[in-house]
Structure 1
């Protein structure tokens, strides 16, 4: 992407491919950001991804705790239904969700996209955190209850510190899901000012021509925040995804 963004049209279609970027073409990034649209798209994407991450984890923690620690009728069925939701493609839900969003005035709203993305990512977040909480010894919770701790305090003070790696792993999953999401964004958002970058980049594709350098410059800026976020959290991801695989 960097090499393409910093190449001229003649160089892009030359018989020999360029292997290294031409730093003299850095002005393409300034051109891409000149009108402020690209920066606005990135801010919108960050808002949606962060909101989805916070909401899905905030709901996924008590969901995972309930599935792990409480016994109720239909518990296995609930877990299976949550797992089966991951088989549904987003395109299948666009029409009913569009009708629902129009009824509750959630169209053209970043909050609406946060809700839609959270609904799709919450089941997998809850199941991962359930597996992590399954690996926390019950004796620790029993000792806390003997000391007078209430269920919420047990969850916040005993379980949460021990499942931080799993929380980090689910945070990466939720963030990337919302950051890359396109179907809901292009369907539920009409105002160009609040479009995320996934939709904004697609708008560069024209009938008569596509500015490849500009597309790649914006795409690179769209990719870097997600890569940086993953590099920051990667040390927790493997531990978090394997937590709960072995009990005891």
Structure 2
């Protein structure tokens, strides 16, 4: 009994330590945003936020630029997530369940695309977007981010569908279900955790993306927050408190999204697999 208590105590301590390490950067941004210049450049670090300095958040949102950046980032991330998942599910299903010429080559090509850095694709994408008038457009960023993250989403979902017994698909076809029905009624409910994990990957990639955004967007009004925050860095000075305030607000939606989706990631893989 004593050994169980010690083991439980050690696990609780380990969880608290890991949680502290994960939350501390967010807390430090919040504290720094609420620190005066005198304390910020003083000898002793301030660990407790000074809420009398909360006006920095109000000032950061006053002109509407930061709010616009956050809304642009949300639009890009949401669009990328929906598009990549919407295309990744049928692509992963086709690679998993159908036999066709070039299937192995296509899978390898999808894998190799993840070895290409974004910077290497900027020039050809810039020329392509200029031809199709997609520069300076949120739609262009959604397409660029989706193209970059779609291969990994498709491979993740392919692996998840590979783990579903073919007997379930055959049972659906015996009942008269078409391939689309088999995908939507049988496979998708079973791979919901993998879909949630893929959505997290797609959302975070688009939310944090900088290279495409700074290259393809020229209008400051439609810049995402990742580019907008970088604009605070000046030649003669940088408003540290403002940068940290906007960065804190930029980080919160991603954290909230992950906490919301986490419950689906850990959901049972076989929920609804048994036919009554």
TM-score bucket (shorter structure) = over 0.9
Instruction: Indicate whether 1:170 and 2:176 are aligned.
Output: no
Q: Which residue of 2 aligns with 1:153?
A: 181
**Where do residues 223-238 of structure 1 align in structure 2 (5 Å cutoff)?**
223-237=251-265
Q: Secondary structure at the match of 2:114?
A: helix
Q: Secondary structure at the match of 1:43?
A: helix
Q: How many residues align?
A: 242
Encode CA deviations 1:67-112: one digit per residue, 9 max, x unaligned.
Answer: 0001112211111111111110000111110000000000010000
Encode CA deviations 1:119-157: one digit per residue, 9 max, x unaligned.
Answer: 000000000000110111111111111111111111111
Could you tell me whether the CA contact under 8 Å between 2:84 and 2:202 is conserved in 1? yes
Q: Which residue of 2 aligns with 1:107?
A: 135
Provide TM-score, normalisation by structure 1: 0.95
Gaps of 5+ in 2: 1-28, 271-276
Q: Distance in 2 between matches of 1:234 and 1:168?
A: 8
Q: Secondary structure at the match of 2:176?
A: coil
Q: Which residue of 2 aligns with 1:119?
A: 147
Q: CA RMSD in A?
A: 1.4
Q: Which residue of 2 aligns with 1:19?
A: 47
Provide TM-score, normalisation by structure 2: 0.85
Q: Which residue of 2 aligns with 1:73?
A: 101
Q: Distance in 2 between matches of 1:182 and 1:238?
A: 30
Q: Distance in 2 between matches of 1:170 and 1:15?
A: 45
Gaps of 5+ in 1: 244-248
Q: Distance in 1 between matches of 2:179 and 2:102?
A: 22
Asked which structure has the greater RCO (Cα within 8 Å, sep 6+), the reply is: 1
Q: Distance in 2 between matches of 1:226 and 1:28?
A: 22
Q: Distance in 1 between matches of 2:51 and 2:64?
A: 23
Structure ID, larger Rg: 2
Encode CA deviations 1:204-237: one digit per residue, 9 max, x unaligned.
Answer: 0000010000000000000000001111112343
Q: Which residue of 2 aligns with 1:181?
A: 209
Q: Which residue of 2 aligns with 1:192?
A: 220
Q: Distance in 1 between matches of 2:164 and 2:78?
A: 28
Which structure 1 residue ranges, 4+ long, deviate > 6 Å from structure 2? Answer: none
Q: Secondary structure at the match of 1:87?
A: coil
Q: Distance in 2 between matches of 1:140 and 1:146?
A: 10
Could you tell me whether the CA contact under 8 Å between 2:156 and 2:194 is conserved in 1? yes
Q: 1:41 aligns with which of 57, 69, 77?
A: 69
Instruction: Indicate whether 1:134 and 2:154 are aligned.
Output: no
Could you tell me whether the CA contact under 8 Å between 2:56 and 2:242 is conserved in 1? yes
